[in-house]
Structure 1
Amino acid sequence: MTAPDPRSAALETEVQQLLGDAVANGITPSAVCSVVLHGQPLRTISAGPATAGTYFDLASVTKVFTAVTALSLVDGGALALDEPICTWLPGFRSGHGNSGKSAVTLRHLLTHTSGLPAVWPGWRSALATGTAYNRQDLLADLLSMELTAVPGTHFDYSCVGFNTVMALAEHVTGRPWAGLVSERVLEKLSNGGCPSGLVELTGRPDPALCAPTEFQPEYGRGLIQGIVHDESAWSLGGLSGNAGLFGTAPSLAAFGEDLLAGLPGILSPTMAAEMWQDQLPLVLGDNADSGGPGYGHGLGLRIGQESWMGAHPGARGHNGFTGTSLLVDREAGIAAALLTNRVHPSRTLSDVTAMRHAVADVVYAAA
């Protein structure tokens, strides 16, 4: 019988303390952390009224899955990284102030260098009119947004850009986005196309199994549970390019392992490598210092974002507004999912950045 690794036992103890303190101090009502070290899953740690089986709104961690879906279309020849997206998407139209849109590529969108603004207010305008949401009208409004910078000259984190990826993918395939994500990524994971045999990532979870997020009576939503928190994604029907995926901590950590393995059966080695490599020097060129974010960015993956990943240059991953994050590192052999619902009952109450940083440091120390 193999003796337990004392480093793993110490890691579990330290993570339990960090999560327990966060709940006790009102940083988040609940938190769950799953870690895989060098291919070995550790015991899932939880605090507050959540367990390893609790589904959390992953928020912008969804963007990693959006990138994988889009890159699978590149692999299949339906899209290209460096061709203007208006080649396929006539609705991405030019107009007054929009002449630069003809240069926007999929690589720009996946690296937040397209020049599109950070957020889209169209969902709010539609709500204010009191009319029912029409998804096609809302997408047309989103695709008509003017640029705020010349493509390829500035990094501006953009949910608009990732919802544009969604619209592009739907247009070239004729398939609804949720179906594309499921068919090209999620079903292949759960069917054994990747090592994890992943089963617990979905755009339509059982609300009874979900951690609640915000209380929003002002939008007629009441307590949000099992429905996407992000208002843009909500108005666009749920699972969208920028948000809307739900998952458990073990399932997200297992997906992190699949990322480390290169997503075999889903992406070619070339596309998997593009996710991992810092694209900003290539895209921004001489603007990389003045126009960059201060950290690297692959196609869908943030690189070395020290504020929450810690001072670990090999770190990759993504975080989400609701209090979620995925951290992976090939050289260190790390895949770690930290899920919280820090926006419950209000988004104004807490910041989990320090907890993310502390958990990352503890995981790296054990690895």
Structure 2
Amino acid sequence: MNDMHRDEPHELRSAIRDVLTGAVADGFTPSAVCAIARDGRRIEPVAIGDAVRYGANGNELAPAERVGASSATVYDLASITKVFTAVTILTLVRDGVLGLDEPVFGRLAAFAPGRRAGAKRVITARHLLTHTSGLPAEWEDAPGGRLLDRAGTLGRPGMLERLAGSELEADPGSRSIYSCVGYNVLMHLAEQITGIEWSRPVHDRLLAPLRRDDPTSAALTYFPDPENCAATEYQPDRGMVRGAVHDETAWALGGAAGNAGLFSTAGALLSFGEWLRTGMGGLLPPQLQDELWRDQLPHVLDPQASRPDYGQGLGLRIGHLAWAGRSGSEARSHGGFTGTSLLVDRTRRLTVVLLTNRVHPSRDTDVRPLHAAVAELAASG
């Protein structure tokens, strides 16, 4: 029995290595790093491919010039950042300075004006956390164009006011549409409450307590050393992006945003996932922890609103099988546009992290099937 138990991680790592090697060979991503914990036992990460395969001008590098991926490679987490945003917001609820069902317009002067100001006045933090506010998916200043104030004519405060003034596309509670705008409104709200720019509350309220409980999470940061990072996309106005956030809105806001901006190694993100799975060291009281995990959609959507085929907690998606695999109906997960995913399953005592830089050098591939396949292996291996 003991010999079999010792062989299980080896067999699982071998199976995952085969899947990741095939994905890299087939061009779905230049690199991938997977880290898994089962029953609290961490399995040594598997790293495949090149963290940097294309140079500053977007051209493919000679093999000798490439940077191989390893367990120490730092990846742009993209929208997995939203889970950290959600937990940080819940610490404000914990402290009694924000109500989950408190209308946001009372805290943000720029929030209510617009054609549908009356509808916006009922939007709460719960709506924003569950993507049911009716705000648009992406931040657009004009039809077809995002407001990217790179020249600094508005400054960050002006940009946030413009963001808060985004017009609704639907009434609150009438639909479930994934919204980066909503999560940046949450960031703006937190800054108004705390008087501190976003990266500091996230660090003080979440990353520092996590690091005290588990020092292996230290690689989680908004501002990594670019030399340690996997490259992402080649963009004509930015060159090859490496060590700076890929998401255009987060980049325009200075790198640390509510929708994106965090970087991590696979191991550090696994530490967060396990911390989340096991109660976060009491960071949140039991009632708020339950809210984080509970499917909110039956309570925030109008009865006539159509529901997606997955649930939505406060930040975490529930049973999102496109990422979590066929057996992941009870899993909480989140993916990132750069090709990253975090899965936490309390029922199966399982945490799975898969980090890729599939947008390197361009955003032409879909790696969701790869994430689902790895989740299936982790659950059954």
Indicate the TM-score class for this superposition, using the shorter chain for normalisation.
Answer: over 0.9
Structure 1 distance, partners of 2:15, 2:203, is 36
Which residue of 88, 105, 109 corresponds with 2:128? 109
Unaligned runs of 5+ in 2: 50-67
2:371 to 351, 356, 361: 356
Question: Is 1:230 matched up with 2:230?
Answer: no
Change (3 A) 1:41 1:152: same
Alignment-derived partner of residue 296 in structure 1: 311
Is the partner of 1:250 in helix, strand or coil? helix
**Aligned-residue offset at 1:8:** 2.1
Question: 8 Å contact 2:149–2:252 — kept in the other structure?
Answer: no
Which one of 216, 223, 233 corresponds to residue 204 of structure 1? Answer: 223
Paired residue secondary structure (1:77): coil
Matched, 1:281 2:282: no
2:287 is equivalent to residue 270 of structure 1: yes
1:179, distance to aligned residue in structure 2 (A): 0.4
Residue type of the alignment partner of 1:336:
V
1:154 is aligned to 175
Displacement of 1:81 in angstroms is 0.4
Q: Distance in 1 between matches of 2:375 and 2:300?
A: 29
Question: SS of the counterpart of 1:224?
Answer: strand
The one-letter amino acid of 2:48's match is A
Q: Deviations over 1:24-57 (max 9, x none)?
A: 1110000000000000000100101211100000
In 2: Cα distance, 1:127 partner to 1:84 partner: 28
Q: Secondary structure at the match of 1:11?
A: helix
- 1:174 matched residue in structure 2: 195
Alignment of 1:326 onto 2:345: no
The answer on 1:258 being equivalent to 2:259 is: no
Query: How far apart are 1:247 and its partner, in Å?
Result: 0.2
Q: Tell me if structure 2 keeps the 8 A contact 1:304–1:315.
A: yes
Question: Cα–Cα, structure 1 residues 131 and 73, in superposed 2: closer, same or farther, change >3 Å?
Answer: closer
CA distance in 2, matches of 1:237, 1:129: 9
- Residue 5 of structure 1 is matched in structure 2 by 6
Cα 1:127–1:261 shift into 2, 3 Å: closer
Whole-Å separation in 2 of the counterparts to 1:293 and 1:95: 28
Equivalent residue number for residue 80 of structure 1: 99
TM-score, scaled to structure 2: 0.91
Question: Which string of whole-angstrom CA distances, capped at 9 and with x for unpartnered residues, describes residues 193-251 of structure 1?
Answer: xx56521100000000000000111xx21110000000000001101000000000011
Q: Is the 8 A contact 1:196 1:257 kept in 2?
A: no
Q: What are the superposed Cα offsets for residues 55-106 of structure 1, whole Å, 9 maximum, x if unpaired?
A: 0000000000000000000000110101101122222122323320000000
Q: Deviations over 1:140-185 (max 9, x none)?
A: 1111111111111210100000000000000011011000100001
Q: Contact 2:128–2:186 (CA<8 Å) still a contact in 1? A: yes
Contact 1:262 1:273 in 2 (8 A): no
Task: Indicate conservation of the 8 Å contact 2:333/2:344, yes or no.
Answer: yes
Which one-letter code corresponds to 1:20 in the other structure?
Answer: T
**Distance in structure 1 (CA, Å) of the matches to 2:150 and 2:223:** 28
Within 5 A, what are the aligned runs for 1:305-344?
A: 305-311=320-326, 312-344=328-360
Structure 2 residue 238 is the aligned partner of structure 1 residue 221: yes
1:249-286 alpha-carbon deviations (Å, 9 max, x no partner): 01111111011112124222211111111000111151
Work out the CA distance in 1 between the residues paired with 2:25 and 2:271: 28
**Cα RMSD over matched residues?**
1.8
**Any idea what SS the aligned residue of 2:301 has?**
helix
Change (3 A) 1:358 1:211: same
Displacement, 1:5? 3.1
SS in structure 2 at match of 1:165? helix
Q: Which residue of 2 aligns with 1:33?
A: 34
Please give the alpha-carbon distance, in whole angstroms, between the structure 1 residues aligned to 2:257 and 2:370.
28
Which ranges of 4 or more aligned residues in structure 1 deviate by more than 6 Å? Answer: none
Q: What is aligned with 1:346?
A: 362
Secondary structure in structure 2 of the residue aligned to 1:34: strand
Structure 1 range deviating more: 231-240 or 83-92: 83-92
Write the distance in 1 (CA, Å) between the matches of 2:360 and 2:42.
29
The more displaced of 113-122 and 32-41 is 113-122
- Alpha-carbon shift at residue 133 of structure 1 (Å): 5.7
Specify the code of the residue in structure 2 equivalent to 1:46: A
Letter in 1 for 2:9: S
Specify every segment of 5 or more residues in structure 1 that has no aligned partner in the other structure, as ranges.
none
Q: How does 1:240-259 map to 2 (within 5 A)?
A: 240-259=257-276
Alignment check: 8 A CA contact 1:122 1:138 kept: no
Aligned to 1:90: 109
Residue pair 1:254, 1:335 contacting (<8 A) in 2 also: no
Bigger mean CA deviation after superposition, 136-145 or 261-270? 261-270
Q: 1 CA distance for matches of 2:153 and 2:92?
A: 32
> Percent of pairs identical after alignment?
48
The question of whether the paired residues in 2 share the 8 Å contact of 1:60 and 1:318 is answered with yes
Q: Compute the TM-score of the two structures, normalised by the length of structure 1.
A: 0.94
Structure 1 residues 284 and 127, CA gap change in structure 2 (3 angstroms): closer
**C-alpha contact (below 8 Å) 1:166/1:240 kept by paired residues:** yes
SS at match of 2:354: strand
